[in-house]
Structure 1
Amino acid sequence: MKHKSKKIIALITCISLLLISTCGFITSKAAAPVYTDSGKKYSYKQFLSDYQFFVKDDLKTSNHFVGAAACGGIANLKSFGNGAVSPSYLNYIKHIDDYSGCYNSHFLSGKPDYQKLLNQPAYYHDKSLFVKCHSITKYPDKNSAYINFSSAFASLKKEAQDMAEKRQLTLTEKNLKNARIDNYFGKLLTIPFSSKVTSVYIPESISKQADWILIDGVKDLDELVSTEHIISFEKGKPIALGGSYDFVKSGDNQKAVFISTSKGDGKTFYISHDNKQKNAYLLDDAHGLKNLKSASTIQSGQMDLSGVKLIWNFPQTQKLAFEYLAGHVLAPNADI
C-alpha cells in the first residue's frame, strides 16, 4: 500500500504502479500448489513483481486496488485483483467485496504477451460467514499454506537490512537546506542520485529535520523504469511520506516527496544561502508516472507492465503512513 485502522504488519506496498513478473503460474504435481512451484524465490524482487500487498499479519483496505494480495493474517478487503499476475493467498477472510483476478478480461486480455498470466486463482485457508465474493478457491491443503510467511519474512528482513548496509551514500547535514515553497518555509532534504549513486541511506537525525524530500539527479522518470533506485531509512519515530499537497505544509511530521525537473515546470523551491531555485513535481501518479515514455501502462496508468524500480526501504521502522506516494515500500517490521 495504507493508514492504520487495525494492526497491519506490511511488507510491500506498490503505491501507484504494479511491477509485473513474466513468470507464469505452474501447477504443482502435488495435490496443492505452492508459490515456489513455478521456480519463484522468497525475495523482495519477486514479491514486488507479483503483489500489490504482501503482508505478514492483518490487511484491511478501504477501497479497490489493482493486482494480487498475500495476507498471512485476517483479510478485510474491498474489491481487488484486476490484472493480477500471480495467485492471491489470504490466510483468513473476514470480508471481501469481490475478486476480479480470475476474469482479467478488461486488463490483460488484449495483451498477447500476457495471455499465460490470465485467470489467476485467489486462495483462502479459512473464512468467516461475511464473504460476498464467490470467485475465490479454498486452498486444498488444510495442513499447509500456499505461501510460508515465516520463511518469506525471514528472507525479506535480511534483504532489507543488507540493502541499507550496502548503500552507496549516507546523507548528512550538507544535504539539508533552508528553503521556501509557495508560502511555506522549512528544510529541504535533497537526494543526489547520479550514475554512480543509486542507493542512499537517511539517518534518523537527518530525516526528522526534513519538511520535504527532493529526488534529484534522475535524468527523467523513465530512469526509474530502467534502473533500480533505493532510499533506505534508519529506524526512528513514525514516518509519514506523501505525494499529496496535504503533506507540503512545513513544521509537521508529514514529508512531501518531490522529483526535480529541468523543464522549468512544476513547483519552485527557493533555496536559501545558495541562492538557487529547483523546479519539481510532487512524486504522485498524476505528474508523469502515468505517462512514462519507456513504460507500458494500461488502464490510465493503473498498471505498468514494464515496472518501476523506485524502492523505499525501512528495515527497522515500526510505524509508517503514506499518501499517493509512487514506488514500492519494503517495510518488514512496520505497521502501515
Structure 2
Amino acid sequence: MIDRLIENIQKEINLTMEETEQLFDKIFKGEIDTDSLVDLLDALDKKGETPEELAGATTSMRKNAKLIDVNHDQIVDCCGTGGLGKKIINISTSVSFVLAAAGLKVAKHGNRTATGKSGSADFLEAAGINLKKSSDNFSNSLDKIGLGFLFAQNHHPGMKYVMDARKILGKKTIFNLLGPLSNPAGANIQSIGVFHNKWIKPVAEALRNLNCKAAAIFHSDDGLDEISFTSTTQMIELCQNKLTNHEIDPKDFNIKSKNISDLEIESPQESVNKVIDTFENKFLAGKEIISLNAAPALKISSVVDNFEDGYELAFELISSGKALEKFDEFINFRS
C-alpha cells in the first residue's frame, strides 16, 4: 500500500487526508527507509502538497507526538515556519509574552533554528530557561502565569526518522509546515507565519479541515514569515469555519520604523538583549514589530475587534511594563 501511495505522488496524484495520515504514520514509526523517504518528500514538493495532505500529515504528527493535556478551553500559539535564514530578533516568541500579558493562555511551541541566528528555543535558553525541564514545567507555568514553552524536540520523537532524508534533500519540505501545525498542547487558536505566500491558503484550509477554532496565516511581501513594517503582508483569517483575505499595511498603524535591518542580531543573546530593551521601552523598532505581530492573535482570540485595536493594545502592554513583567515572571518561574 505504501509503495502505491508513493508511486501515486510521483505521478502527481493527490492523496486523501486518510491516505496521507496512514503514510505519515509509517514515517513516524520509522517504517520507511531513508532512500524511499527522500523520493517521497521530493515528489511531494514537486507536486505541491494539498490542504488535505497537510491535514492528514498533521493528524499523524499530532497522534505520534508526546501530548500534554490542558484544562483550558482556549489555547493560543504563535510561530513561524522558519527556513528563511533570518537574522532578526525572535518576534513570535516575544509576542507570546504580550499575549500572556493580555490574559491569554499561550502554549508556545518551538525549536532551535536550523538556518537563522536564533530560534525560539535558542532565545529562551539564552534567557535562562532549562529546555530539558520546560515540558515538565509547562502545565504549572501555563496555569499560573498564562504561558508555557513546548520544546519541539521533547515532543516529536518520530522526527528522528526524517533527519537524514531532510539533510540529503537540503531544501524545505512539508515538515517545515507540519511543526507549527502540531502543537502538543492542542492549541486551537493559531497565528502562523509561512515561508512563502503560496502556503497561506493551503495552511489555512488545512487548519479548517482540522477544526481549528480560529487562525491567522500570513507572509509579508518583503519575504518574511512575520508581519512586516516595511511592506504589506498578505493574510488569511480563519474564523467560524470561514476564510477571509486581508492585506496588512503598516501605514495603517502609524509606524515610524523603516528598516528591518534595525532588528538584526548575530546571536540568541543579542536577541534577548534587544527584546528586553523593547520591553523596557528603549527600542522602538522592536516595540512596533512585536505589536504588529501580536495584533492578529489578539483579534482571532476575541480580545479586540480589529487589527488596529490589537496593535494599540499590544503597544500599551509593552509601554506599561506588563509585557516585561510577564517576561520576568516566565524566565524566573519554578514549579
TM bin, normalised by shorter chain, reads: under 0.3
The alignment's TM-score, normalised by the length of structure 2, stands at 0.26
Report the structure, 1 or 2, having the larger strand content: 1
Report the structure, 1 or 2, having the larger helix content: 2
The alignment's TM-score, normalised by the length of structure 1, stands at 0.26
